[in-house]
Structure 1
Amino acid sequence: MTIESFPGSSGYIDAGVDNKITYFSNTYVLGLTVIAGIGGLLFGYDTGVISGALLYIRDDFEAVDQSSFLQETIVSMALVGAMIGAAAGGWINDAYGRKKATLLADVIFAVGSLVMAAAPDPYVLIAGRLLVGLGVGVASVTAPMYIAEAAPSEIRGGLVSTNVLMITGGQFLSYLVNLAFTEVPGTWRWMLGVAAVPAIVQFSLMLFLPESPRWLYMKKSKSEAIVVLSKIYDPYRLEEELDQLASALEEENQRKNAVSYLDVFRIKEIRLAFFAGAGLQAFQQFTGINTVMYYSPTIVQMAGFSSNQLALLLSLVVALMNAAGTVLGINLIDHFGRRKLALSSLFGVFLSLILLSVAFFLESSGVANVGWLAVLGLALYISFFAPGMGPVPWTVNSEIYPESYRGICGGMSATVNWVSNLIVAQSFLSVADAVGTGWTFMILAGISVAAFGFVVAFVPETKGLTFDEVERIWKEKAWGSSGKGPESESESLLEIGEGE
């Protein structure tokens, strides 16, 4: 998992030295990644566990069983909390650092989990769901940002994608936990309360980890940043990284103005970067991933498999394939590149959605024994989505923004993801009822075509580039090769990215 040497890039450490950085070459960075990635595990677990827990919550609370509104509120309140947490998380990260933001997210999540487990009525349960959502929202911004800023540029994509693996692993774990506690007294309380354990574990481990070296250098202490960076890079590369940080700090000081949300839309290069990042986050959801993850048992039953046990088992297989596909993405993203991986993924997603649509059209026409065609479509969908459109939006958003805007823009784009997530989760079954399941998947296929065009038009390749080089790409896109924009070096970077 290495990159070729670009002009001005930090690919090889030295032209005469065979010292390539690989995913497993620095156990210190890998350890930081795994511990920070527990935030992704919380993210994935929370989105998956409620589907099974809700069945038993309905048994305990008659009011919930008799009210679809209460059921929807219990599910969606965590998404509402995540939107708020993601929006606030960007500011928290910039003001107080990635480490403190992670610790805060863990505390909120753990408290929310315990509140849910002890809830005496549906309304306290809803309050607990809001709290865990807040924690998940902050973590969804912080984890990829922390990992990206500690990662060498050559393997940044693979390391940030590890956080996505933790998300998909958390979803798979939630299905296993749901099955494990089905025969235990207080079933749903255990399902929801056990989520506090990884939050407490991450909190304990994060106390011993450093702050992001880039945040330290730019906001607090250069000497502390150097100590952290010296554990990641050899002396030659360390000097190179420090030079880049010094240049970035000088540029930030020249700006003088305080960072504001309005600047994201006022400054052209930042606006272009945010449009690309937020667009990727929106298309990740609108191409249907959480339709599959939230409603895969329902889709399986729609396809003609009426057994609850078989539907749950097939859903577990879908979750496992999602995690396995993310592992493939980790291996491809720094070799194949973000842009190509996203485009290949979207092409496969389009074909899979067409297959799903055809299966349901045939089923509604009375054709027998087409259920397995729908299941095949689901399997192919996950196989194509998980390695590409799963990790790429999070990776790109962790690396395309200037230092002073990384928290704000990362938080805003994550909020776009959560809002899109909520829209998809709340609308899929209603749309399917209104126009039919076949046409619903055909609509998603059309959206995947739009997403393909969006990536072609607006998302540059950032594989292996430093943060400074990525920033120069956006200036080149905004201002051209003269005037405010960068000159020939950044132009060559843009051409390299688009040519890959």
Structure 2
Amino acid sequence: MLHATSKQAEAEVQSGGRRGNTEQDSSGNGARPEPPIDRLMTFLLFIFPALGGLLFGYDIGATSGALVSLKSAVTSGTTWYDLDSFQSGLVVSSSLFGALAGSSAAFVVGDKLGRRRELLLAAVLYGGSSVVMGAAPGLEILVLGRALYGLGIGFAMHAAPAYIAEAAPAKVRGTLISLKEVLVVCGILLGYLGSYLFVDTVGGWRLMYGASAVPAVILLGGMFWLPDSPRWLLLSGAGKSRAEKDLVRARGSTADAAAVQRELAGIEKSVREAQATEIPGFVGLFKGRYLRPLTVGTSLMLFQQITGQPSVLYYAADIFNKAGIGAGKDATGVSVILGVFKLVMTGVAVLTVESLGRRPLLLIGVSSMVVSLLALAGSQLALTGQLETWTSVIALLLYVGAYQVSFGPISWLIVGEIFPLAVRGQAAALATVTNFGSNFLVSLVLPTVQETFGAGATYLGFAVIGVAAVATIYAIVPETKGKSLEEIEALFDLESDEKTV
């Protein structure tokens, strides 16, 4: 079984390398503590790339309110406010089309640009499109602005996990990449807040969309100041001295010369192996040593989108209103309730990812999602009255909480750390395309499925997919807690070697 092979290889990597928060003495006489972390510099290495996620979340939260404002004869402030269903769908989905295009483009140009310049490009796209949307004189320009914003989303969601994974200290890498999901949820809440504040203002949709220019400028300035990824610098041929300089900057005031040299030596070894390897084309990613990490990353991105989140949240307002929660301010009340709860549960994942590990959070969280989906299906198919209502409310909250401690943050974390250096940019781009592509397909077919089969049968179908997700995670997803990126790569190399013996 793949899982057994993974555990054996994992043990070999640990026995010959770093474990937990220690590193092996060069003399082989035992482990010694790692140097302390510069908390301020590490925070900056996280917060600026994570603003790309916040701007993604903000668009999700703001668009529902912006559409209400735009379609109202009273608040639109335009002569073209009377949008039909197709035009409304175009406004909402155009950013998703852009995100698909951006993540697809990242497959081709991501490694050439590098993580930092890719985030700079995302910041320019975010900021420029915010101005275009806020000043749009007609529907066509608004849709164009939405598509450009989506391009920014595609580049940002591809580059941010890789930059954080490659630039941050290994022992907090998991916490920081998971914490990026907190910024996404914070962005959603800020979007809801913007909707609440401006939905009754004439031209309020312009303010909602235009406001995202402010964090975009901060993202641009922050990424302009931050160092490049030392791994990307070596891989791109920038030279050891430049990589060492940027690594010292990344480690901040607590940078220890000996520790920097040890870390740089490990990176150099990984880069030499990557450069000695023929970089595969698209088909080559699905062969040899790249197949399993690619399967792990793309399957998590796929299951993240096809295990029911759009469907569950689609019915959230109705479930809460039946229970008397959020009545009177239906959409806003339910959105805020769920948004705050999502934020709290994402915080739980961040606080436990380095102690419990990635794999246990995924297995426990996705299993809980299956239980909640079965409860939702049962409440719709077999229960009535208040028992149905409150069973649905409890199951809904369980589902949202379970998603936020598993698929929400952990999928992006693993995508940020699991791919070999030689193909990290291409593989991460393919995983991002899988995410946005499956999101689009689910959004496309979900209304028809719900109308044809009903809520109960839809939940039951997603529960079956959830069981397949749990089985897949158990079979192929390794534990990467406490390992450097080079150790994670060696984990798959050992496994590949075992299969050729």
CA distance in 2 between counterparts of 1:437 and 1:305 reads 20
- Deviation of 1:482 (Å): 5.2
1:277 aligns with 2:297: yes
Matched, 1:246 2:268: yes
**TM-fit CA distance, 1:305:** 6.8
Alignment CA distance shift 1:147-1:13 (3 Å)? same
- Determine whether 1:312 maps to 2:335: no
**Secondary structure, aligned partner of 1:13:** strand
- Structure 1 stretch 471-480 or stretch 151-160: which is displaced more? 471-480
Of 232, 235, 238, the residue aligned with 2:257 is 235
Deviations 1:360-406 (A, max 9, x none): 2256xx53463233222221112111122111111111111111211
Residues 51/295 of structure 1: CA separation in 2 closer, same or farther (3 Å cut): farther
The residue aligned with 2:27 is none
TM-score (norm 2): 0.88
Segment of structure 1 superposing worse, 473-482 or 175-184? 473-482
Q: CA deviation at 1:469?
A: 2.0
CA contact (8 A) 2:270 2:486 kept: yes
3-state SS, counterpart of residue 480 of structure 2: coil
- Note if contact 1:21-1:155 (Cα within 8 Å) is conserved in structure 2: no
Q: 1:97 aligns with which of 100, 105, 114?
A: 114
Separation (CA, whole Å) in 1 of partners of 2:94 and 2:315 = 18
- For residues 282 and 398 of structure 1, what CA distance do their matches in structure 2 show? 15
Unmatched 5+ residue regions in structure 1? Answer: 484-500
- Structure 1's 127 and 16: CA in aligned 2 closer, same or farther, altered over 3 A? closer
Show structure 2 runs of 5+ residues with no match: 1-10, 25-29
Identify if the C-alpha distance between structure 1 residues 119 and 298 changes in structure 2 by more than 3 Å, giving closer, same or farther.
farther
RMSD: 2.4
Q: What do residues 299-341 of structure 1 show as CA deviations (whole Å, max 9, x unaligned)? A: 5457787945144212211111111211111121121111111
Specify the SS of the correspondent of 2:16. Answer: coil
Letter in 2 for 1:414: T
| Cα deviation, residue 424, structure 1 | 2.2
Task: Give 2:39's match in structure 1, choosing from 26, 47, 53.
Answer: 26
Closer, same or farther: CA 113–81 of 1 in aligned 2, 3 Å:
same
Measured against aligned partners, the alpha-carbon deviations of 1:208-229 in whole angstroms (never above 9, x if no partner) come to 1111121112212321221222
Q: Which residues in structure 2 correspond to 1:334-345 (within 5 Å)? A: 334-345=354-365
Offset, 1:51: 1.5
Deviation at 1:47, TM superposition (A): 2.0
Could you say if the C-alpha distance between residues 258 and 477 of structure 1 is closer, same or farther in structure 2, counting changes exceeding 3 Å?
Answer: closer
Partner Cα distance (1:293, 1:134) in 2? 25
Distance 1:269 1:139, change over 3 A: same
What is aligned with 1:47?
60
In 2, Cα distance between equivalents of 1:362 and 1:312: 30
Counterpart for residue 283 of structure 2: 262
Q: What corresponds to 2:316 in structure 1?
A: 296
Is structure 2 residue 461 aligned with structure 1 residue 443? Answer: yes
Number of residue equivalences? 474
Opposite residue 213 of structure 1, the aligned amino acid is: P
- 1:212-231 alignment runs, 5 A limit: 212-219=229-236, 220-231=238-249
Deviations 1:22-59 (A, max 9, x none): 7xx53212211011110110111112221121112222
Please tell me whether the aligned partners of residues 296 and 477 of structure 2 are also in contact (alpha carbons under 8 angstroms).
yes
> What is the aligned counterpart of 1:57 among 58, 70, 73?
70
The answer to whether the Cα contact below 8 Å between 1:64 and 1:71 also exists between their aligned partners in 2 is no
1:114 to 131, 134, 157: 131
Residue aligning to 1:193: 210
Give the Cα separation in 2 of the matches to 1:368 and 1:13: 57
2:392 is equivalent to residue 367 of structure 1: no
Supply the AA of the counterpart residue of 2:17: S
Contact 1:148 1:399 in 2 (8 A): yes
Aligned residue number for residue 493 of structure 1: none
1:331 maps to which residue? 351
Asked if 1 retains the 8 angstrom alpha-carbon contact of 2:35 and 2:256, the reply is no
Alpha carbons of structure 1 residues 243 and 306: separation in structure 2 relative to 1, 3 Å: closer
1:434 is aligned to 2:452: yes
Aligned pair in 2 of structure 1 residues 322, 129: CA closer, same or farther (>3 Å)?
A: same
Percent identity at matched positions? 32
- Paired with 2:325 and 2:345, the residues of 1 have a C-alpha distance of 25
Rounded to whole Å, the distance in 2 between the matches of 1:445 and 1:117 is 41
Are residues 1:130 and 2:147 paired? yes
Q: Determine the C-alpha separation between the residues in 1 that align with 2:359 and 2:387.
A: 38
